[in-house]
């Protein structure tokens, strides 16, 4: 619970580096989680080493939560208030001593006594932490503050020493509360899944059970207003489900039999029963939680730079203070007391906390905002670098398009009525599992048509299908089937070629008297694809479509979507090569895909975007960003959020360094005091935390 910033991380690294058997350390400072990789027989040695530096560890359970309840350390506000009163008394007695001309023996000791009481009440913890840091050859804020307060006491600045210690501890308490708000920014989003669910038993009765004991295939009942406990498929009932926590959709989604529901979503008004398709540890929500926890451990480049800068900055400030204390009197005729006091002010203002907390707060807040929009970002590095995308490549099938053919055109050629031809074709298609046949059958189902009975059905490999309806033989297939039947003609070829030039796949229905109708199917564009491409262009991102389809299909879909260029006839390895060519033009390149064949390109891209709802697990795991509702408009939203988060990061860093630079100048000009330095440092820390939290509202 004491691990807050890279200062503590450095202290822990230094202490555990002396423990043999430890092979790796991973820090998640925002969630205060340390992962230790080791070959030791038990963790006892590790726990004792951490306890020796006042980092009392709490083991995590299998679910990633503390094995026993962890209570946030309460702040001793009453003790701090008493310390503040004694510090004020020290200042008042100092003023009274000055008014009396310094001749009152009674008043002479009061400033020191009151200051000592204030320091003891408010600063023993700081001294303990400072001593631990110094004894481990580590300079953190507690060490700097301990040296500064002790130095102030030694040069007789009792009221200031007391006030600095009290203000420092009050600021630490306020800062801790502000940081906890940042920690909770994502935690609140993840506390979604209920712990228990109503499960149907073998005898048909219902029993409330812990979701961790519910197996895949179990039937679970959800009442109005309840949260869905596990991922599943509705088997009975219908409702509208609020999926905002998972997909970011702003309005509830209608759900009926056969529809998918996600753990953590909210049932609004109806009641339904669903079959669990994932265990509690494998739900979409649990995968999101795991990805977020992993993401918080991956630091953005700017965050790694700030941490590295802080590690060198603190010793440099300490060295500058020493040079000030001893160099100014020896080289510039400064009074020793003034030089030491100036050095102490430098120690106080030199604290790097405001700088090092500015980046994780902003990054985590930005990730929280992304999650609320249904965008799962797997690391701060991707959120920061999204602003640099200059080119985005889309897979076509299942990404820009729905990923399944739909009936788009119907041309009647024979004597049969249009409705009759459609029924005959759908009747034959319903018996086939070919994608084109499924498109015809689904269209008939959507219209509620009653399909005719088909007898003597037969699939003709590579050509189509045939069967008898009411005793008459019908064929449904490609132009090759028509040619084999001797039904091809120049007119038929022309009609088929015209449809294929528009990116359609064409099948013909033929009866005993000749060709009756042509049916064209195509993979249709998603409703939001064109808008997503338009927004990306407005952001200055070059758009490209990659597809394995032929030139005609690729040209039509590319034109409909409005992408800048396209590559057709690509195998999975060809998509990877195409992405490498795009990267060679310069700038960061992204890739959006949904299938296993997109995984190589997703892995090669600077940022990979996966369609999480309809995509494969392989694409989801390979990508760096997951779009929970498959809405491509989330990609420009991600880029805008990345730019806004980066702007806040830069603001925080400039503010933190600017205030320090200003106070360094004021210190050497003799205009800054220790308590002013504390206020400046505390105020800056609170400002960068508050500014960082703005990213969560973007």
What is the DSSP track for 339-356?
HHHHHHHHHHHT--HHHH
Write out pLDDT tens, residues 144-169: 788 888 888 888 888 888 888 887 78
Q: How many CA atoms, within 13 angstroms, populate the side-chain half-sphere of residue 531?
A: 8
The contacts of residue 469 (CB under 8 Å, 6+ apart) are 424, 427, 428, 452, 453, 454, 455
- In the structure, what pLDDT confidence band is assigned to residue 295 with cuts at 50, 70 and 90? low
Write out pLDDT tens, residues 360-417: 778 878 887 888 888 888 877 888 889 999 999 998 888 898 877 888 888 888 666 6
pLDDT at 188: 58
- pLDDT at 615 exceeding the cut of 90: no
If residue 620 lies in a helix (H) or strand (E), which one and from where to where? Answer: helix 617-622
- In the structure, what pLDDT confidence band is assigned to residue 220 with cuts at 50, 70 and 90? very high
Query: What's the average model confidence in pLDDT over 129-134?
Result: 83
Task: Classify residue 161 by its DSSP letter.
Answer: H
Write out pLDDT tens, residues 239-293: 888 887 676 555 688 888 888 898 888 898 889 999 999 998 888 777 776 666 6
Q: What are phi and psi of 252, to 5 degrees?
A: -60, 150
pLDDT above 90 coverage of the chain, percent: 22
- pLDDT at 63 exceeding the cut of 80: no
Most confident region among 142-156, 223-237, 678-692 by mean pLDDT: 223-237
- In the structure, what pLDDT confidence band is assigned to residue 221 with cuts at 50, 70 and 90? very high
Task: Classify residue 74 by its DSSP letter.
Answer: P
What is the pTM (predicted TM-score) of this model? 0.70
Task: Classify residue 19 by its DSSP letter.
Answer: S
In the residue annotation, 395 being an active-site residue is answered as yes
Q: Which of 4, 231, 395, 598 is catalytic?
A: 395
Task: Classify residue 227 by its DSSP letter.
Answer: B
CB atoms inside a 10 Å sphere around CB 219? 18
Distances (CA, A) of 244 to 22, 318, 365, 533, 669: 42, 50, 18, 24, 56
**Residue 210 near residue 195, CB atoms below 8 Å:** yes
| Residue-wise DSSP of 530-569 | HHHHHHHHHTT-EEEEE-SS-HHHHHHHHHHHT-SEEE-S
Write out pLDDT tens, residues 17-33: 888 899 988 887 667 78
Residue 146: is it exposed, middle or buried by C-beta count within 10 angstroms (0-12/13-18/19+)?
A: buried
* DSSP-H helix ranges across 297-417: 301-332, 336-349, 353-372, 380-385
**Residue 345 near residue 667, CB atoms below 8 Å:** yes
């Amino acid at each position: 619970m004491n691990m807050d910033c890279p200062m503590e991380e450095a202290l822990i690294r230094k202490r555990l580096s002396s423990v043999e058997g430890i092979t790796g350390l991973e820090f998640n400072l925002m969630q205060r989680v340390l992962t230790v990789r080791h070959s030791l027989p038990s963790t006892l040695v590790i726990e004792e080493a951490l306890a020796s530096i006042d980092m009392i560890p709490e083991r995590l359970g299998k679910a990633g939560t503390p094995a026993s309840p962890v209570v946030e350390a309460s702040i001793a506000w009453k003790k701090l208030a008493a310390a503040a009163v004694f510090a004020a008394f020290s200042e008042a007695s100092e003023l009274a001593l000055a008014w009396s001309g310094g001749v009152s023996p009674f008043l002479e000791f009061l400033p020191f006594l009151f200051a000592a009481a204030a320091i003891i009440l408010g600063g023993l913890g700081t001294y303990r932490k400072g001593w631990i840091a110094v004894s481990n050859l580590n300079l953190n804020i507690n060490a700097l503050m301990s040296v500064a307060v002790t130095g102030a006491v030694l040069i007789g600045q009792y009221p200031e020493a007391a006030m600095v210690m009290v203000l420092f501890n009050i600021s630490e308490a306020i800062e801790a509360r502000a940081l906890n708000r940042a920690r909770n920014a994502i935690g609140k989003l993840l506390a979604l899944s209920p712990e228990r669910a109503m499960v149907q038993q073998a005898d048909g009765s219902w029993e409330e059970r812990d979701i961790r004991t519910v197996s895949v295939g179990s039937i679970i009942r959800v009442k109005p207003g309840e949260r869905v406990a596990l991922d599943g498929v509705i088997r009975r009932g219908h409702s509208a489900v609020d999926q905002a926590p998972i997909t970011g959709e702003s309005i509830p989604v209608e759900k009926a039999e056969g529809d998918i529901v996600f753990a953590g979503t909210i049932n609004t008004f109806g009641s339904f029963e669903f079959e669990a398709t994932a265990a509690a540890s494998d739900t979409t929500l649990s995968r999101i939680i795991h990805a977020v926890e992993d993401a918080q451990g991956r630091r953005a480049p700017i965050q790694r730079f700030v941490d590295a800068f802080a590690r060198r900055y603190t010793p440099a400030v300490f060295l500058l203070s020493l040079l000030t204390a001893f160099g100014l009197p020896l080289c510039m005729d400064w009074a020793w007391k003034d030089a030491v006091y100036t050095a102490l002010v430098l120690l106080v203002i030199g604290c790097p906390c405001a700088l090092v907390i500015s980046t994780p707060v902003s990054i985590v807040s930005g990730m929280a905002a992304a999650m609320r929009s249904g965008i799962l970002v797997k690391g701060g590095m991707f959120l920061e670098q999204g602003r640099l995308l200059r080119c985005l490549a889309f897979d076509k099938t299942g990404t820009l398009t729905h990923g399944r053919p739909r009936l788009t055109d119907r041309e009647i050629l024979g004597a049969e009525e249009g409705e009759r031809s459609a029924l005959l074709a759908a009747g034959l298609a319903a018996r086939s599992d070919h994608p084109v046949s499924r498109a015809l059958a689904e269209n008939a189902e959507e219209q509620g048509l009653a399909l005719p009975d088909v007898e003597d059905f037969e699939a003709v490999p590579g050509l189509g299908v045939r069967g008898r309806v009411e005793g008459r033989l019908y064929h449904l297939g490609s132009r090759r089937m028509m040619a084999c039947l001797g039904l091809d003609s120049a007119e038929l070829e022309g009609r088929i070629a015209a449809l294929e030039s528009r990116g359609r796949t064409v099948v013909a229905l033929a009866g005993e008297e000749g060709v009756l109708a042509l049916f064209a199917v195509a993979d249709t564009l998603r409703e939001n694809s064109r808008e997503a491409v338009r927004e990306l262009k407005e952001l200055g991102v070059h758009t490209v479509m990659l597809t394995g389809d032929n030139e005609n299909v690729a040209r039509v879909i590319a034109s409909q979507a409005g992408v800048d260029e396209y590559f057709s006839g690509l195998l999975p390895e060809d998509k990877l090569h195409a992405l490498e060519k795009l990267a060679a033009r310069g700038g960061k390149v992204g890739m959006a895909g949904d299938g296993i064949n997109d995984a190589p390109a997703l892995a090669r891209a600077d940022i990979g975007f996966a369609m999480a709802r309809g995509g494969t697990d392989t694409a989801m795991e390979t990508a760096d960003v997951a779009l929970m509702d498959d809405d491509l408009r989330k990609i420009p939203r991600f880029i805008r959020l990345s730019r806004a988060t980066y702007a806040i990061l830069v603001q925080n860093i400039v503010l933190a360094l600017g205030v320090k630079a200003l106070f360094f100048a004021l210190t050497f000009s003799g205009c800054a005091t220790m308590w002013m330095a504390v206020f400046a440092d505390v105020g800056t820390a609170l400002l960068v935390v508050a500014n960082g939290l703005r990213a969560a509202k973007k």
